[in-house]
């Protein structure tokens, strides 16, 4: 399907402002409120799967356009896609093109927790407070103690109803891990961990 007119013109305006050629915009719809997007700089495409929430559609398109305008930074051989350079552009685009700070903060940080820290740094309204609350929650969360439940073993795939599981530890093997396990010449290895809350420290009276 073709992209709605507002989205096409947003792509034009954002790229013209930045003095950059626009990407081709691929547009599909998905069920649910939220949208998803992906930017393929190598082939010149921004693709959006639009959910029903118009604000989230706009934010998602602007998020991808920020990727279009910001090459990923490499740090220790890892590409940083959502760093400060990216969010400097992204939050400026949100502001300039009709996504209010509180909406930008809410939608962006629901996807990427790191957005809060960058938004606070950029002085986005409400970001410092939200970051403070988030850190508070992390501190209050009980620590967990990890132990090995099933020691390291070779993964042997087995069907279990609709799932593929490891025959030894019964863990489901899905997605990329399943593809990797099927491809591997030597069996992949597994350790199954489990965690329990750390017992509260007794303070002597
Ligand atoms: Zn992104
Ligand atoms: Zn296993």
pTM, whole model, 2 decimals? Answer: 0.69
pLDDT of residue 121: 94
3-state helix, strand, coil in the chain (%, to 5): 40, 25, 35
Q: Are 156 and 168 in contact (CB under 8 A)?
A: yes
CA of 63 to the centre of ligand 1 (A): 6
pLDDT digits (tens, 9 = 90+) for 152-192: 899 999 999 999 999 988 889 988 889 988 888 888 888 88
Q: Are 191 and 151 in contact (CB under 8 A)?
A: yes
pLDDT digits (tens, 9 = 90+) for 91-137: 999 999 999 999 999 999 999 988 999 999 999 989 999 899 888 88
Q: Higher confidence at residue 71 or residue 63?
A: 63
Q: Of the bound ligands, which one is closest to the alpha carbon of residue 170? A: 2
- With a cut of 90, say whether residue 72 has pLDDT above it: no
Q: Of the bound ligands, which one is closest to the alpha carbon of residue 38? A: 1
Q: Of the bound ligands, which one is closest to the alpha carbon of residue 36? A: 1
CA of 40 to the centre of ligand 2 (A): 36
pLDDT of residue 148: 86
Give the number of other CB atoms < 10 A from CB of residue 58.
23
Q: 45-50 and 78-80 as β-strands: parallel, antiparallel, unpaired? A: unpaired
Q: Are 73 and 97 in contact (CB under 8 A)?
A: no
């Amino acid at each position: 399907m073709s992209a709605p007119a507002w989205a096409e013109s947003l792509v034009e305006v954002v790229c013209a402002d930045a003095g950059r050629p626009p990407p081709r915009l691929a547009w599909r719809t998905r069920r649910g409120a939220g949208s998803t997007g992906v930017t393929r700089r190598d082939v010149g495409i921004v693709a959006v799967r639009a959910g029903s929430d118009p604000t989230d559609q706009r934010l998602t398109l602007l998020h991808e356009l920020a990727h279009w305008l910001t090459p990923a930074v490499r740090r220790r051989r890892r590409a940083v896609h959502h760093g400060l350079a990216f969010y400097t552009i992204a939050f400026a685009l949100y502001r300039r093109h009709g996504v209010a700070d509180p909406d930008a903060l809410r939608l962006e940080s629901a996807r990427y927790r790191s957005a809060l820290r960058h938004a606070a740094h950029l002085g986005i309204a409400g970001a410092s407070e939200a970051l403070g609350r988030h850190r508070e929650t992390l501190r209050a969360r009980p620590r967990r103690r990890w132990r090995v439940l099933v020691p390291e073993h070779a993964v042997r795939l087995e069907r279990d109803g609709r799932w593929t599981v490891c025959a030894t530890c019964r863990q489901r093997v899905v997605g990329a891990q399943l593809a990797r396990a099927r491809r591997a010449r030597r069996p992949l290895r597994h350790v199954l961990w489990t965690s329990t809350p750390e017992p509260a420290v007794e303070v002597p009276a």
